[in-house]
């Protein structure tokens, strides 16, 4: 048998609790009173309140109680992720809260953690959406929030339910922590593989094999000479200019037979940005990728729009298989400068102004060496030193890209390294897929636990209070 939820009340939240928004921040008008720390909605996470980065504002005497907090108050985000909630434990006396947070203070005996679990279940299942206002920035207004139906079991059952929920969620969270640890280890292993590839420690070097087999080989310096000769022969779109020598200070000591090469030395035509013009989701027009089409493994050619241009207007912007592209800007530092090698497009497609195209020499395209080492820390560190920030957007420009330096192994060694990197990373990708599937399963299981608890099916009558 299970506990029946038929005897539980369902009432609007405003009937059992006082719901109040915090103080609006106004740096100009409110400079009287005591300067005290306060919570913002970013401090309120699901099930916890983070207090490491508190800010301060002034509170007058008549505001101290109005915007004060007590242990057992439930804090609920009004914006950001509306409905995200946690119980305040009272660990910082005198702490206040801002207008972006609803403070829920019960006027009858109620287990506050049960409200948090109800809000989590409703929010994660999409049940709060219809109560939000705003089309782009969502808000949970006080008027809508106080009307939210809340389940009210008898107090003893509330405590029993919360205890059982937390017992099961604790077990589940332990498993999720282990999965996240595996994720972190896989990320570190991926970085270690790329680091070893850039340092000549992943496969036997061509110099080592040549010594063992008593033969000669083409060194990285000789390969670079051959690439520069191709660059001179093939150069198009502008007057030819000899590239500067690579700045070797960006790289550690290289293995025997390796060279140091800049991006500028590897290209057969000038770096090129795409086109920036307003487009449409449907034809007619020239098909152009969006920046979101870029992934680590190539382009999603379905993620495109259509620009009001003729083919002859964009003759120099058609994407070819083997072209390498770099993201020019992003709001996240780890995404700016991200690169990908294009596969052959299924139909004629150009690239947007948010990307820079590198058209590499033939030998560089054959080995896929640039795309292999681009995510490595060797390259990322250079990108992060070169980016500029404007209005919160990180950007990198053609001159900075041209100066990026990578190690250049002999041609045959590049082929072996790339094959070994692909083998190892494919194993990592398979494990990542398994981990992600299990994390998603754990998320669904968490919702299932909450659903069963709130429908009275989580605990049996044998465990119910007498």
Report pLDDT digits (tens) over 201-212: 999 999 999 999
What are 385-417's pLDDT values in tens digits?
999 998 889 999 999 999 999 999 999 999 999
For 158-192, the pLDDT digits (tens) are 999 999 999 999 999 999 999 999 999 999 999 99
- Give residue 32's pLDDT: 82
What local confidence, expressed as pLDDT, does residue 465 receive?
44
Q: What is the CATH number of domain 5-153?
A: 3.90.220.20
The whole-number average pLDDT for the span 344-358 is 97
Question: Which tokens go with 140?
Answer: 């949970």
Strand partners, 217: none
Q: Which residues of 56-77 are buried (b: 16+ CB within 10 A; e: fewer)?
A: ebbbeeebeeebbbeebbbbbb
SS3 content of the chain, % helix, strand, coil (to 5): 40, 20, 40
**In sequence order, what are the beta bridge partners of 18?**
105
Quick one: which H or E segment has residue 377?
helix 377-386
Enumerate the domain spans of the chain.
5-153, 155-217+411-466, 223-409
pLDDT at position 464 over 50: no
- Establish whether domains 5-153 and 223-409 are of one fold: yes
Helix (H) or strand (E) holding 287: strand 286-289
> Is 29 a residue whose pLDDT tops 90?
no
At the topology level of CATH, where does 223-409 sit? Adenine-n6-DNA-methyltransferase TaqI; Chain A, domain 2 (3.90.220)
List, for residues 122-139, the tens digit of each pLDDT value: 999 999 999 999 878 899
Residue 316 to residue 319: CA distance in whole angstroms: 9
According to the model, what pLDDT value does residue 27 have? 62
Q: Are 371 and 324 in contact (CB under 8 A)?
A: yes
Mean pLDDT, all residues of the chain: 93
Q: Is the pLDDT of residue 26 over 50?
A: yes
C-alpha separations of 184 from 193, 271, 447 in Å = 14, 35, 25
Q: How confident is the model at residue 3 (pLDDT cuts 50, 70, 90)?
A: low
pLDDT at 311 over 90: yes
Q: What is the pLDDT of residue 392?
A: 83
Q: Using one digit for the tens of pLDDT, what is the confidence trace for 81-107?
A: 999 999 999 999 999 999 999 999 999
In this predicted model, what pLDDT tens digit does every residue of 318-348 receive, in sequence order? 999 999 999 998 888 889 999 999 999 999 9
pTM for the whole thing?
Answer: 0.84
Q: How many CB atoms lie within 10 A of CB 295?
A: 11
């Amino acid at each position: 048998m299970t506990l029946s939820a038929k005897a539980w009340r369902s009432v609007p939240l405003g009937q059992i609790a006082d719901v109040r928004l915090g103080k609006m921040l106004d740096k100009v008008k409110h400079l009287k009173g005591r300067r005290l720390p306060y919570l913002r909605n970013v401090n309120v996470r699901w099930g916890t309140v983070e207090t490491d980065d508190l800010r301060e504002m002034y509170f007058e005497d008549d505001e101290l109680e109005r915007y004060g907090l007590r242990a057992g108050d439930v804090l609920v985000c009004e914006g950001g992720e509306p409905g995200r909630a946690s119980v305040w434990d009272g660990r910082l006396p005198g702490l206040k809260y801002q207008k972006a947070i609803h403070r829920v203070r019960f006027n009858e005996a109620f287990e506050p953690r049960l409200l948090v679990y109800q809000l989590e279940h409703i929010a994660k299942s999409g049940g709060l959406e219809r109560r939000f206002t705003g089309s782009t920035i969502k808000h949970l207004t006080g008027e809508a929030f106080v009307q939210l139906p809340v389940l009210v079991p008898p107090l003893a059952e509330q405590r029993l339910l919360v205890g059982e929920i937390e017992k099961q969620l604790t077990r589940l969270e332990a498993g999720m922590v282990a999965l996240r640890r595996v994720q972190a280890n896989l990320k570190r292993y991926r970085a270690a593989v790329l680091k070893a590839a850039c340092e000549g420690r992943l496969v036997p070097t061509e110099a080592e094999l040549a010594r063992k087999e008593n033969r000669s080989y083409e060194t990285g310096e000789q390969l670079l000479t051959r690439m520069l000769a191709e660059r001179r022969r093939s150069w198009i779109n502008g007057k030819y200019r000899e590239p500067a020598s690579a700045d070797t200070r960006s790289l550690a000591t290289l293995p025997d037979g390796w060279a140091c090469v800049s991006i500028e030395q590897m290209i057969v035509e000038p770096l090129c940005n795409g086109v920036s013009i307003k487009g449409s989701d449907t034809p007619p027009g020239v098909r152009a990728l969006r920046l979101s089409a870029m992934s680590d493994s190539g382009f999603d050619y379905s993620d495109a729009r259509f620009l009001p241009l003729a083919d002859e207007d964009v003759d120099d912007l058609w994407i070819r298989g083997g072209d390498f592209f770099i993201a020019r800007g992003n709001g996240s530092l780890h995404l700016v400068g991200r690169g990908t090698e294009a596969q052959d497009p299924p139909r004629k497609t150009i690239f947007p102004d948010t990307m820079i195209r590198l058209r590499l020499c033939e030998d560089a395209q054959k080995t896929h060496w640039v795309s292999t080492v681009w995510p490595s820390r060797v390259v990322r560190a250079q990108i992060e030193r070169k980016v500029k920030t404007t209005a919160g957007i990180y950007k990198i420009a053609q001159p900075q890209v041209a100066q990026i330096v990578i190690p250049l192994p002999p041609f045959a060694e590049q082929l072996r390294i790339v094959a070994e990197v692909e083998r190892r990373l494919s194993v990592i990708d398979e494990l990542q897929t398994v981990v992600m599937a299990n994390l998603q399963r754990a998320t669904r299981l968490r919702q299932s636990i909450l659903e069963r608890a709130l429908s009275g099916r989580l605990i049996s009558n044998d465990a119910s209070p007498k």
